Protein backbone atom coordinates (compact mmCIF):
# COMPACT_ATOMS: atom_id res chain seq x y z
CA UNK A 1 0.00 0.00 0.00
CA UNK A 2 0.96 3.62 -0.39
CA UNK A 3 0.12 6.50 1.90
CA UNK A 4 -1.33 9.71 0.55
CA UNK A 5 -1.63 13.08 2.24
CA UNK A 6 -3.38 15.92 0.40
CA UNK A 7 -2.28 19.41 1.39
CA UNK A 8 -3.46 22.87 0.44
CA UNK A 9 -0.24 24.39 -0.93
CA UNK A 10 -0.98 27.93 0.07
CA UNK A 11 2.59 29.21 0.17
CA UNK A 12 3.09 32.03 -2.29
CA UNK A 13 6.26 30.47 -3.61
CA UNK A 14 5.12 26.87 -3.66
CA UNK A 15 5.69 26.76 -7.40
CA UNK A 16 9.33 27.62 -6.88
CA UNK A 17 10.10 24.98 -4.30
CA UNK A 18 8.85 26.63 -1.13
CA UNK A 19 7.08 23.88 0.79
CA UNK A 20 9.33 21.11 -0.48
CA UNK A 21 7.34 20.17 -3.59
CA UNK A 22 9.35 18.17 -6.10
CA UNK A 23 7.33 18.53 -9.31
CA UNK A 24 4.71 20.90 -10.68
CA UNK A 25 1.84 19.18 -12.48
CA UNK A 26 -0.42 21.44 -14.49
CA UNK A 27 -3.81 19.91 -15.23
CA UNK A 28 -5.75 21.65 -17.97
CA UNK A 29 -5.13 24.30 -20.53
CA UNK A 30 -2.10 26.49 -19.70
CA UNK A 31 -3.70 29.42 -21.57
CA UNK A 32 -6.06 29.67 -18.60
CA UNK A 33 -3.16 30.08 -16.14
CA UNK A 34 -2.91 33.87 -16.25
CA UNK A 35 -1.84 33.91 -12.61
CA UNK A 36 1.30 31.95 -13.46
CA UNK A 37 3.18 33.72 -16.27
CA UNK A 38 6.33 31.73 -15.43
CA UNK A 39 4.58 28.51 -16.45
CA UNK A 40 3.13 30.10 -19.55
CA UNK A 41 6.59 31.31 -20.55
CA UNK A 42 8.12 27.84 -20.22
CA UNK A 43 5.29 26.39 -22.24
CA UNK A 44 5.65 29.03 -24.94
CA UNK A 45 9.36 28.24 -25.30
CA UNK A 46 8.85 24.49 -25.34
CA UNK A 47 6.03 24.73 -27.87
CA UNK A 48 8.55 25.98 -30.40
CA UNK A 49 10.40 22.65 -30.35
CA UNK A 50 7.77 20.13 -29.34
CA UNK A 51 4.47 19.88 -31.20
CA UNK A 52 3.07 17.50 -28.56
CA UNK A 53 2.65 20.32 -26.05
CA UNK A 54 -1.00 20.88 -25.27
CA UNK A 55 -1.86 17.59 -26.93
CA UNK A 56 -0.22 14.92 -24.80
CA UNK A 57 0.87 14.66 -21.17
CA UNK A 58 4.64 15.13 -20.89
CA UNK A 59 7.38 16.47 -18.66
CA UNK A 60 9.62 19.50 -19.25
CA UNK A 61 12.88 20.32 -17.58
CA UNK A 62 12.08 23.43 -15.52
CA UNK A 63 15.09 24.46 -13.41
CA UNK A 64 13.26 27.38 -11.79
CA UNK A 65 10.29 25.36 -10.59
CA UNK A 66 9.83 23.01 -7.66
CA UNK A 67 11.85 19.84 -8.22
CA UNK A 68 12.98 21.17 -11.60
CA UNK A 69 10.08 19.32 -13.19
CA UNK A 70 7.06 20.69 -14.98
CA UNK A 71 4.51 18.10 -16.04
CA UNK A 72 1.87 19.27 -18.49
CA UNK A 73 -1.34 17.28 -18.42
CA UNK A 74 -3.72 18.77 -20.97
CA UNK A 75 -7.42 17.98 -20.70
CA UNK A 76 -8.00 18.34 -24.43
CA UNK A 77 -10.99 20.20 -25.74
CA UNK A 78 -13.39 21.15 -22.96
CA UNK A 79 -15.77 23.08 -25.19
CA UNK A 80 -17.38 20.11 -26.92
CA UNK A 81 -21.05 19.84 -26.10
CA UNK A 82 -20.70 16.24 -25.00
CA UNK A 83 -17.56 16.60 -22.93
CA UNK A 84 -17.65 16.29 -19.17
CA UNK A 85 -15.44 16.74 -16.12
CA UNK A 86 -13.86 13.29 -16.42
CA UNK A 87 -11.39 15.07 -18.71
CA UNK A 88 -9.83 16.52 -15.56
CA UNK A 89 -9.62 13.18 -13.77
CA UNK A 90 -7.98 11.54 -16.78
CA UNK A 91 -5.49 14.38 -17.24
CA UNK A 92 -4.54 14.47 -13.56
CA UNK A 93 -4.10 10.71 -13.54
CA UNK A 94 -1.77 10.89 -16.53
CA UNK A 95 0.17 13.86 -15.18
CA UNK A 96 0.66 12.52 -11.68
CA UNK A 97 1.65 9.17 -13.19
CA UNK A 98 4.47 10.85 -15.12
CA UNK A 99 5.61 12.75 -12.02
CA UNK A 100 5.69 9.61 -9.87
CA UNK A 101 7.54 7.57 -12.48
CA UNK A 102 10.05 10.43 -12.79
CA UNK A 103 10.71 10.02 -9.07
CA UNK A 104 8.58 12.75 -7.54
CA UNK A 105 6.99 11.99 -4.17
CA UNK A 106 5.56 15.44 -3.44
CA UNK A 107 4.00 16.72 -6.64
CA UNK A 108 2.20 20.05 -6.64
CA UNK A 109 -1.03 20.12 -8.64
CA UNK A 110 -2.03 23.30 -10.43
CA UNK A 111 -5.51 23.03 -11.89
CA UNK A 112 -6.47 25.28 -14.78
CA UNK A 113 -10.21 25.59 -14.26
CA UNK A 114 -13.00 26.32 -16.69
CA UNK A 115 -16.01 28.49 -15.92
CA UNK A 116 -18.61 26.19 -17.48
CA UNK A 117 -20.88 24.74 -14.77
CA UNK A 118 -20.13 21.18 -15.75
CA UNK A 119 -16.54 21.82 -14.63
CA UNK A 120 -17.49 23.36 -11.28
CA UNK A 121 -15.79 20.52 -9.37
CA UNK A 122 -12.81 20.33 -11.72
CA UNK A 123 -10.26 20.69 -8.92
CA UNK A 124 -11.84 18.00 -6.76
CA UNK A 125 -12.32 15.68 -9.72
CA UNK A 126 -8.68 16.16 -10.72
CA UNK A 127 -7.80 15.09 -7.18
CA UNK A 128 -9.87 11.93 -7.59
CA UNK A 129 -7.89 11.12 -10.73
CA UNK A 130 -4.60 11.80 -8.97
CA UNK A 131 -5.65 9.67 -5.99
CA UNK A 132 -6.57 6.83 -8.31
CA UNK A 133 -3.11 6.96 -9.89
CA UNK A 134 -1.30 7.08 -6.54
CA UNK A 135 -3.30 4.19 -5.06
CA UNK A 136 -1.56 0.86 -4.78
CA UNK A 137 -3.39 -2.23 -3.48
CA UNK A 138 -2.97 -3.04 0.21
CA UNK A 139 -0.81 -6.08 -0.58
CA UNK A 140 1.68 -4.16 -2.74
CA UNK A 141 4.40 -1.86 -1.46
CA UNK A 142 3.90 1.65 -2.80
CA UNK A 143 5.42 5.07 -2.24
CA UNK A 144 4.24 7.51 0.40
CA UNK A 145 3.07 10.58 -1.47
CA UNK A 146 2.23 14.10 -0.35
CA UNK A 147 0.10 15.84 -2.91
CA UNK A 148 0.03 19.62 -2.82
CA UNK A 149 -2.84 21.45 -4.49
CA UNK A 150 -2.97 25.16 -5.24
CA UNK A 151 -6.33 26.63 -4.24
CA UNK A 152 -7.69 23.61 -2.38
CA UNK A 153 -10.35 24.96 -0.04
CA UNK A 154 -11.16 21.95 2.09
CA UNK A 155 -8.16 19.68 2.56
CA UNK A 156 -9.73 17.70 5.45
CA UNK A 157 -12.66 16.75 3.24
CA UNK A 158 -10.40 15.84 0.31
CA UNK A 159 -8.35 13.56 2.59
CA UNK A 160 -11.41 11.98 4.18
CA UNK A 161 -12.89 11.29 0.77
CA UNK A 162 -9.69 9.79 -0.60
CA UNK A 163 -9.22 7.65 2.51
CA UNK A 164 -12.76 6.35 2.07
CA UNK A 165 -12.00 5.60 -1.55
CA UNK A 166 -8.82 3.76 -0.59
CA UNK A 167 -10.84 1.53 1.75
CA UNK A 168 -13.42 0.95 -1.01
CA UNK A 169 -10.69 -0.05 -3.48
CA UNK A 170 -9.00 -2.33 -0.95
CA UNK A 171 -12.25 -4.09 -0.12
CA UNK A 172 -13.38 -4.43 -3.73
CA UNK A 173 -9.97 -5.44 -5.02
CA UNK A 174 -8.91 -8.12 -2.55
CA UNK A 175 -8.71 -11.63 -3.98
CA UNK A 176 -11.25 -14.34 -3.02
CA UNK A 177 -9.18 -15.48 -0.04
CA UNK A 178 -7.84 -12.10 1.10
CA UNK A 179 -11.32 -10.59 1.17
CA UNK A 180 -13.55 -13.55 1.90
CA UNK A 181 -16.50 -12.54 4.13
CA UNK A 182 -14.70 -12.96 7.50
CA UNK A 183 -11.66 -11.04 6.24
CA UNK A 184 -13.84 -8.29 4.78
CA UNK A 185 -15.62 -7.99 8.13
CA UNK A 186 -12.30 -7.90 10.01
CA UNK A 187 -11.09 -5.10 7.72
CA UNK A 188 -14.23 -3.12 8.62
CA UNK A 189 -13.82 -3.73 12.36
CA UNK A 190 -10.27 -2.41 12.16
CA UNK A 191 -11.23 0.49 9.86
CA UNK A 192 -13.90 1.79 12.23
CA UNK A 193 -12.15 1.13 15.54
CA UNK A 194 -12.07 4.31 17.64
CA UNK A 195 -14.28 6.21 15.20
CA UNK A 196 -17.84 7.52 15.59
CA UNK A 197 -19.06 4.73 13.28
CA UNK A 198 -20.24 1.72 15.27
CA UNK A 199 -19.64 -1.74 13.80
CA UNK A 200 -21.39 -4.98 14.56
CA UNK A 201 -20.82 -8.27 12.81
CA UNK A 202 -23.32 -11.14 12.61
CA UNK A 203 -21.59 -14.46 12.06
CA UNK A 204 -23.64 -17.03 13.98
CA UNK A 205 -25.04 -19.52 11.48
CA UNK A 206 -28.35 -20.04 13.31
CA UNK A 207 -28.93 -16.30 13.53
CA UNK A 208 -28.08 -15.77 9.88
CA UNK A 209 -30.32 -18.62 8.69
CA UNK A 210 -33.18 -17.28 10.83
CA UNK A 211 -32.81 -13.56 10.11
CA UNK A 212 -31.29 -13.56 6.61
CA UNK A 213 -32.82 -16.63 4.96
CA UNK A 214 -32.26 -15.62 1.33
CA UNK A 215 -28.71 -14.49 2.04
CA UNK A 216 -28.08 -17.75 3.89
CA UNK A 217 -29.37 -19.77 0.94
CA UNK A 218 -26.73 -18.14 -1.25
CA UNK A 219 -24.15 -18.86 1.45
CA UNK A 220 -25.29 -22.42 2.10
CA UNK A 221 -22.38 -24.13 0.36
CA UNK A 222 -19.89 -21.86 2.12
CA UNK A 223 -20.94 -22.34 5.76
CA UNK A 224 -18.83 -25.49 6.02
CA UNK A 225 -15.63 -23.58 5.23
CA UNK A 226 -14.92 -21.24 8.15
CA UNK A 227 -12.85 -18.79 6.20
CA UNK A 228 -15.59 -18.46 3.52
CA UNK A 229 -18.60 -18.34 5.85
CA UNK A 230 -20.95 -15.35 5.46
CA UNK A 231 -21.07 -12.20 7.55
CA UNK A 232 -23.45 -9.31 7.85
CA UNK A 233 -21.71 -6.12 8.86
CA UNK A 234 -23.81 -3.31 10.27
CA UNK A 235 -22.41 0.22 10.42
CA UNK A 236 -24.09 3.19 12.06
CA UNK A 237 -23.19 6.83 12.19
CA UNK A 238 -25.19 9.51 14.00
CA UNK A 239 -23.84 13.04 13.78
CA UNK A 240 -24.18 15.65 16.49
CA UNK A 241 -27.16 17.98 16.66
CA UNK A 242 -30.67 17.69 15.30
CA UNK A 243 -30.85 14.96 12.68
CA UNK A 244 -32.28 16.22 9.40
CA UNK A 245 -31.12 13.47 7.04
CA UNK A 246 -31.61 9.77 7.45
CA UNK A 247 -29.92 7.45 5.01
CA UNK A 248 -30.01 3.66 4.89
CA UNK A 249 -27.56 1.83 2.65
CA UNK A 250 -27.45 -1.82 1.64
CA UNK A 251 -24.27 -3.13 0.02
CA UNK A 252 -23.90 -6.31 -2.01
CA UNK A 253 -20.68 -8.01 -0.96
CA UNK A 254 -20.42 -11.23 -2.92
CA UNK A 255 -16.76 -11.89 -2.26
CA UNK A 256 -16.64 -14.52 -4.96
CA UNK A 257 -19.37 -15.53 -7.35
CA UNK A 258 -19.01 -18.94 -8.95
CA UNK A 259 -22.62 -18.57 -10.06
CA UNK A 260 -23.48 -21.40 -7.66
CA UNK A 261 -25.24 -24.42 -9.15
CA UNK A 262 -25.93 -22.31 -12.24
CA UNK A 263 -22.19 -22.29 -12.61
CA UNK A 264 -20.47 -19.56 -14.58
CA UNK A 265 -18.89 -21.35 -17.49
CA UNK A 266 -16.77 -20.58 -20.54
CA UNK A 267 -14.38 -18.33 -18.62
CA UNK A 268 -17.12 -16.10 -17.19
CA UNK A 269 -16.07 -16.76 -13.58
CA UNK A 270 -12.69 -15.00 -13.60
CA UNK A 271 -12.97 -11.51 -12.15
CA UNK A 272 -15.88 -12.44 -9.89
CA UNK A 273 -13.93 -11.51 -6.76
CA UNK A 274 -14.98 -7.96 -7.70
CA UNK A 275 -18.64 -8.75 -7.09
CA UNK A 276 -18.36 -6.93 -3.77
CA UNK A 277 -17.99 -3.39 -5.12
CA UNK A 278 -21.35 -2.29 -3.67
CA UNK A 279 -20.47 -3.27 -0.11
CA UNK A 280 -16.98 -1.84 -0.63
CA UNK A 281 -18.36 1.54 -1.73
CA UNK A 282 -20.77 1.68 1.21
CA UNK A 283 -17.91 0.95 3.62
CA UNK A 284 -15.85 3.62 1.85
CA UNK A 285 -18.59 6.22 2.31
CA UNK A 286 -18.89 5.32 6.00
CA UNK A 287 -15.10 5.61 6.38
CA UNK A 288 -15.27 9.12 4.93
CA UNK A 289 -18.06 10.05 7.36
CA UNK A 290 -16.08 8.55 10.24
CA UNK A 291 -13.31 11.05 9.51
CA UNK A 292 -15.44 14.09 8.64
CA UNK A 293 -17.99 13.67 11.45
CA UNK A 294 -20.67 15.79 9.75
CA UNK A 295 -23.47 17.11 11.95
CA UNK A 296 -27.20 16.52 11.58
CA UNK A 297 -27.11 13.27 9.61
CA UNK A 298 -27.70 9.64 10.47
CA UNK A 299 -26.53 6.86 8.19
CA UNK A 300 -27.17 3.18 8.80
CA UNK A 301 -25.57 0.61 6.53
CA UNK A 302 -25.66 -3.14 6.22
CA UNK A 303 -23.24 -5.13 4.13
CA UNK A 304 -24.23 -8.62 3.01
CA UNK A 305 -20.96 -10.53 2.69
CA UNK A 306 -21.32 -13.90 1.05
CA UNK A 307 -19.38 -16.26 -1.12
CA UNK A 308 -21.58 -17.85 -3.75
CA UNK A 309 -19.91 -21.25 -3.70
CA UNK A 310 -20.82 -24.50 -5.39
CA UNK A 311 -20.89 -27.80 -3.51
CA UNK A 312 -23.18 -30.49 -2.19
CA UNK A 313 -24.98 -27.97 0.03
CA UNK A 314 -25.47 -25.44 -2.74
CA UNK A 315 -28.94 -24.00 -3.21
CA UNK A 316 -30.51 -24.74 -6.58
CA UNK A 317 -33.18 -23.28 -8.87
CA UNK A 318 -36.82 -24.17 -8.03
CA UNK A 319 -36.24 -23.87 -4.28
CA UNK A 320 -38.83 -21.74 -2.55
CA UNK A 321 -37.46 -19.74 0.36
CA UNK A 322 -39.22 -17.22 2.55
CA UNK A 323 -37.41 -13.89 2.77
CA UNK A 324 -36.87 -11.97 6.01
CA UNK A 325 -39.83 -9.82 5.00
CA UNK A 326 -42.02 -12.94 4.83
CA UNK A 327 -42.22 -13.21 1.05
CA UNK A 328 -41.91 -16.63 -0.57
CA UNK A 329 -39.34 -16.51 -3.34
CA UNK A 330 -38.82 -19.13 -6.01
CA UNK A 331 -35.19 -19.26 -7.06
CA UNK A 332 -34.92 -18.82 -10.81
CA UNK A 333 -31.17 -18.87 -11.21
CA UNK A 334 -28.50 -19.21 -8.52
CA UNK A 335 -26.29 -16.75 -10.37
CA UNK A 336 -28.88 -14.03 -9.68
CA UNK A 337 -27.71 -14.13 -6.07
CA UNK A 338 -27.05 -10.44 -5.41
CA UNK A 339 -30.75 -9.57 -5.25
CA UNK A 340 -31.27 -12.36 -2.70
CA UNK A 341 -28.50 -11.02 -0.47
CA UNK A 342 -29.80 -7.45 -0.80
CA UNK A 343 -33.46 -8.31 -0.19
CA UNK A 344 -32.82 -9.51 3.37
CA UNK A 345 -30.37 -6.71 4.13
CA UNK A 346 -32.86 -4.10 2.83
CA UNK A 347 -35.57 -5.69 4.93
CA UNK A 348 -33.50 -5.19 8.09
CA UNK A 349 -32.81 -1.59 7.12
CA UNK A 350 -36.55 -1.14 6.56
CA UNK A 351 -37.11 -2.16 10.16
CA UNK A 352 -34.47 0.34 11.29
CA UNK A 353 -36.25 3.29 9.70
CA UNK A 354 -38.69 3.65 12.60
CA UNK A 355 -40.33 7.03 12.86
CA UNK A 356 -37.62 9.10 11.23
CA UNK A 357 -38.53 11.78 8.70
CA UNK A 358 -37.80 11.55 4.99
CA UNK A 359 -35.84 8.30 5.07
CA UNK A 360 -33.84 7.58 1.95
CA UNK A 361 -32.74 4.04 1.27
CA UNK A 362 -30.18 2.78 -1.24
CA UNK A 363 -28.95 -0.52 -2.50
CA UNK A 364 -25.51 -0.54 -4.08
CA UNK A 365 -24.47 -3.50 -6.12
CA UNK A 366 -22.52 -4.86 -9.01
CA UNK A 367 -25.80 -6.49 -9.90
CA UNK A 368 -26.17 -7.15 -13.60
CA UNK A 369 -24.20 -7.55 -16.79
CA UNK A 370 -27.15 -5.88 -18.43
CA UNK A 371 -26.32 -2.43 -17.08
CA UNK A 372 -23.09 -2.49 -19.08
CA UNK A 373 -24.87 -3.81 -22.13
CA UNK A 374 -27.39 -0.98 -21.86
CA UNK A 375 -25.12 1.88 -20.85
CA UNK A 376 -21.48 0.96 -21.44
CA UNK A 377 -19.26 2.14 -18.58
CA UNK A 378 -21.99 4.08 -16.77
CA UNK A 379 -23.84 3.32 -13.56
CA UNK A 380 -27.62 3.20 -13.33
CA UNK A 381 -29.94 4.65 -10.69
CA UNK A 382 -33.49 3.33 -10.49
CA UNK A 383 -36.04 4.98 -8.21
CA UNK A 384 -39.13 3.73 -6.47
CA UNK A 385 -42.21 5.94 -6.79
CA UNK A 386 -41.44 7.83 -3.56
CA UNK A 387 -37.93 8.75 -4.69
CA UNK A 388 -39.23 9.63 -8.11
CA UNK A 389 -41.86 11.91 -6.58
CA UNK A 390 -39.04 13.82 -4.89
CA UNK A 391 -36.86 13.76 -8.03
CA UNK A 392 -34.07 12.16 -6.00
CA UNK A 393 -32.72 10.09 -8.88
CA UNK A 394 -32.41 13.15 -11.08
CA UNK A 395 -30.57 14.95 -8.30
CA UNK A 396 -28.19 12.05 -7.80
CA UNK A 397 -27.57 11.98 -11.52
CA UNK A 398 -26.81 15.71 -11.58
CA UNK A 399 -24.36 15.35 -8.69
CA UNK A 400 -22.73 12.30 -10.28
CA UNK A 401 -22.23 14.27 -13.48
CA UNK A 402 -20.21 17.09 -11.88
CA UNK A 403 -18.18 14.62 -9.82
CA UNK A 404 -17.17 12.60 -12.87
CA UNK A 405 -19.01 9.44 -11.82
CA UNK A 406 -21.92 9.70 -14.26
CA UNK A 407 -25.14 7.78 -13.69
CA UNK A 408 -27.96 7.10 -16.10
CA UNK A 409 -31.48 7.42 -14.76
CA UNK A 410 -33.45 4.25 -15.43
CA UNK A 411 -37.14 3.90 -14.77
CA UNK A 412 -39.00 1.09 -13.08
CA UNK A 413 -41.94 -0.04 -15.24
CA UNK A 414 -44.91 -2.34 -14.86
CA UNK A 415 -43.31 -4.94 -17.14
CA UNK A 416 -40.54 -5.27 -14.54
CA UNK A 417 -43.08 -6.55 -12.01
CA UNK A 418 -44.42 -9.06 -14.53
CA UNK A 419 -40.88 -10.46 -14.94
CA UNK A 420 -40.72 -11.48 -11.28
CA UNK A 421 -44.40 -12.36 -10.73
CA UNK A 422 -45.27 -15.76 -9.23
CA UNK A 423 -45.45 -18.63 -11.68
CA UNK A 424 -47.27 -20.97 -9.28
CA UNK A 425 -49.42 -20.67 -6.14
CA UNK A 426 -46.46 -21.78 -4.02
CA UNK A 427 -44.47 -18.57 -4.31
CA UNK A 428 -45.11 -14.85 -4.44
CA UNK A 429 -42.04 -13.91 -6.44
CA UNK A 430 -39.63 -15.41 -8.91
CA UNK A 431 -36.08 -14.19 -8.34
CA UNK A 432 -35.18 -14.20 -12.04
CA UNK A 433 -35.63 -16.24 -15.14
CA UNK A 434 -33.06 -18.95 -15.75
CA UNK A 435 -30.68 -17.04 -17.94
CA UNK A 436 -28.04 -14.40 -17.71
CA UNK A 437 -29.45 -10.91 -17.07
CA UNK A 438 -27.27 -9.61 -19.85
CA UNK A 439 -29.48 -11.35 -22.41
CA UNK A 440 -32.84 -10.24 -21.06
CA UNK A 441 -34.54 -7.03 -22.04
CA UNK A 442 -34.78 -4.70 -19.03
CA UNK A 443 -32.22 -6.92 -17.31
CA UNK A 444 -30.98 -4.20 -14.95
CA UNK A 445 -34.37 -2.61 -14.27
CA UNK A 446 -36.50 -5.61 -13.36
CA UNK A 447 -34.37 -6.77 -10.38
CA UNK A 448 -35.56 -3.57 -8.67
CA UNK A 449 -39.14 -4.90 -8.86
CA UNK A 450 -37.90 -8.00 -7.07
CA UNK A 451 -35.98 -6.03 -4.44
CA UNK A 452 -38.94 -3.78 -3.65
CA UNK A 453 -41.25 -6.71 -2.97
CA UNK A 454 -38.88 -9.28 -1.48
CA UNK A 455 -37.65 -6.69 1.04
CA UNK A 456 -41.15 -5.52 1.95
CA UNK A 457 -40.44 -2.02 0.68
CA UNK A 458 -43.61 -2.14 -1.41
CA UNK A 459 -45.43 -1.60 1.90
CA UNK A 460 -43.78 1.83 2.09
CA UNK A 461 -45.07 3.40 -1.10
CA UNK A 462 -46.18 6.98 -1.59
CA UNK A 463 -49.65 6.37 -0.13
CA UNK A 464 -48.48 4.47 2.95
CA UNK A 465 -48.14 5.66 6.55
CA UNK A 466 -44.37 5.60 6.29
CA UNK A 467 -43.19 6.26 2.72
CA UNK A 468 -39.57 5.32 2.10
CA UNK A 469 -37.69 6.80 -0.84
CA UNK A 470 -35.57 4.03 -2.28
CA UNK A 471 -32.98 4.02 -5.03
CA UNK A 472 -31.15 1.04 -6.42
CA UNK A 473 -27.69 1.77 -7.84
CA UNK A 474 -26.26 -0.79 -10.27
CA UNK A 475 -22.50 -0.24 -10.54
CA UNK A 476 -21.64 -3.49 -12.29
CA UNK A 477 -20.00 -1.66 -15.20
CA UNK A 478 -18.32 1.13 -13.24
CA UNK A 479 -16.94 -0.44 -10.06
CA UNK A 480 -13.78 -1.46 -11.87
CA UNK A 481 -11.94 0.62 -14.45
CA UNK A 482 -12.17 -0.14 -18.18
CA UNK A 483 -15.05 -2.53 -17.41
CA UNK A 484 -12.40 -5.15 -16.80
CA UNK A 485 -13.26 -7.00 -13.60
CA UNK A 486 -10.23 -9.21 -14.03
CA UNK A 487 -7.40 -6.72 -14.17
CA UNK A 488 -8.95 -3.26 -13.86
CA UNK A 489 -8.32 -1.34 -10.65
CA UNK A 490 -11.44 -0.76 -8.50
CA UNK A 491 -12.73 2.78 -9.00
CA UNK A 492 -14.50 3.41 -5.66
CA UNK A 493 -17.49 4.70 -7.63
CA UNK A 494 -19.82 6.21 -6.37
CA UNK A 495 -18.33 7.29 -3.03
CA UNK A 496 -17.70 10.89 -4.16
CA UNK A 497 -21.21 11.24 -5.58
CA UNK A 498 -22.90 9.88 -2.48
CA UNK A 499 -20.83 12.05 -0.16
CA UNK A 500 -21.65 15.21 -2.10
CA UNK A 501 -25.30 14.22 -2.38
CA UNK A 502 -25.43 13.72 1.38
CA UNK A 503 -23.53 16.81 2.49
CA UNK A 504 -24.07 19.42 -0.22
CA UNK A 505 -27.56 18.88 -1.64
ZN1 LIG B 1 -24.08 -13.98 -9.79
Q: How far is CA 407 from the centre of its chain?
A: 12
Residue 340 sits at φ, ψ, to 5 deg, of: -70, -45
For the whole prediction, is pTM greater than 0.95? yes
Give residue 439 CA to ligand 1 midpoint distance, Å.
Answer: 14
Angle subtended at Cα 198 by Cα 305 and Cα 448, rounded to the nearest 5 degrees: 40
d(CA 292, CA 154): 11
3-state SS record for 320-370:
EEECCCCCEEECCCCCCCHHHHHHHHHHHHHHHHCCCCCEEEEEEECCCCH
Q: Which of 153, 79, 77 is nearest to 116 (CA)?
A: 79
- pLDDT reported for residue 309: 98
The pLDDT value recorded for residue 18 is 83
Per-10-residue mean pLDDT of the chain, 505 residues long, equals 90 84 96 90 95 96 95 96 97 98 98 96 98 96 95 96 98 97 98 98 98 98 98 98 97 98 95 97 98 98 98 97 98 97 98 93 97 96 98 98 98 97 97 81 96 98 96 97 88 98 95
Secondary structure (3-state) at 13: coil
Q: Backbone dihedral region of 35: left (phi > 0), alpha (psi from -120 to 50 degrees) or beta?
A: alpha
Q: How far is the CA of 368 from the centre of ligand 1 (A)?
A: 8
**Ligand 1 center–CA 336 separation, angstroms:** 5
User: CA 472 → CA 131, 362, 366, distances in Å?
Assistant: 27, 6, 11
The per-residue pLDDT for 17 is 83
Centre of ligand 1 from the C-alpha of residue 317, in Å: 13
Residue 267 gets the label, from left (phi > 0), alpha (psi -120 to 50) or beta, of: left
Q: How far is CA 135 from CA 100, 103, 313, 461, 491, in A?
A: 12, 16, 39, 42, 10
Residue from 339, 350, 388, 428 carrying the catalytic annotation: 339
Write phi, then psi, for 481 (nearest 5 degrees).
-65, 155
What pLDDT does residue 224 have?
96
Rounded CA separation 363/369 (Å): 17
Return the pLDDT at 79.
95
**Residue 168: what pLDDT?**
98
pLDDT in tens, 65-98: 999 999 999 999 999 999 999 999 999 999 999 9
Alpha helices in 180-254 (DSSP H): 181-191, 205-211, 213-218
Per-residue pLDDT at 63:
92
Domains defined along the chain, listed by start: 4-153 (3.40.220.10), 164-504 (3.40.630.10)
Distance 257 CA to ligand 1 centre (A): 6
- Total residues found in the chain within this entry: 505
CA 204 from chain centre, in angstroms, equals 28
Catalytic residue among 220, 264, 274, 388: 264
Ligand 1 centroid from CA 369, angstroms: 9
Q: Which residues pair with 201 in a beta bridge?
A: 233
88 alpha carbon – ligand 1 mean position (Å):
34
If you compute the radius of gyration of the chain from its CA atoms, what whole number of angstroms results? 24
Active site residue 264: yes
Is residue 293 flagged as an active site residue? no
198-202 vs 231-238, strand pairing mode = antiparallel
Q: List pLDDT tens digits, range 104-129.
A: 999 999 999 999 999 999 999 999 99
Amino acid sequence: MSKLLIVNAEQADALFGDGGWDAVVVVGNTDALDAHPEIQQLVAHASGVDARIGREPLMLLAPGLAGGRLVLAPTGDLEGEYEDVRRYAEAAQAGVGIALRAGARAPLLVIAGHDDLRYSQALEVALLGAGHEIYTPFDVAGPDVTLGVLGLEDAPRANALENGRIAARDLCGGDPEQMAPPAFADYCVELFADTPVSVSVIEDQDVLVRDYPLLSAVARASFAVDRHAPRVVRLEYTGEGVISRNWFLAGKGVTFDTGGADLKIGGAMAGMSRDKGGAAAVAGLMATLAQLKPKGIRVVAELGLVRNSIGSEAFVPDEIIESHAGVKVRIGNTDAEGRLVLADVLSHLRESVGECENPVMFSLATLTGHVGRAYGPYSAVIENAVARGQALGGQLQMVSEIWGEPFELSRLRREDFAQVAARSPSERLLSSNNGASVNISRGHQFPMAFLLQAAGLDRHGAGSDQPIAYMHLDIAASAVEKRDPLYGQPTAVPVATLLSNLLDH
